[in-house]
Amino acid sequence: MITGECFCGKVKYQVDGKLRDAKSCHCSGCRKAFSSQASASALVEPQDFKWLSGEDLLTSYVGKHDFGIQFCNLCGSTLCSIFNDTIHGITLGCVNGDPEIDIGMHIYVGSKAKWEVIPEGVPQYKEGLSEDV
């Protein structure tokens, strides 16, 4: 079982399954949404995910193509990604303990921050998953 929570601890979740396809996205949108050089996330089966507390404190932002994020409206922690109002991924920064997954790819490195250095040995894609760097 995997658990996670926001910075203030009011919003908590549980995943009863394995995470998959962990990636770090370096696009300018993720840098702004996560106030960081990149986002780190992994996919989860929606039926394996459940909120334990604080679901009423979530705010959703939905951008292009019905993809979005949900974050705590008290502390601002981004907890998950959504597609068509269904959770399909979680942010790895809010996971408690070891989620037993490694970042398997870096995407949108063509628009990464100039000051960021990406570790070697992990596949990098200039755009989504379509073009190796």
> Which amino acid, 117?
V
Tokens of 43: 């996919």
Q: 92 φ, ψ to 5°?
A: -75, -20
> pTM here?
0.87
> In sequence order, what are the residues at sequence separation of 6 or more whose Cβ sits closer than 8 angstroms to the Cβ of residue 101?
18, 19, 20, 22, 42, 92
User: What is the pLDDT, as a whole number, of residue 13?
Assistant: 98
CATH architecture of structural domain 2-105: Beta Complex (2.170)
**Weakly modelled stretches of the chain, pLDDT under 70:** 129-133
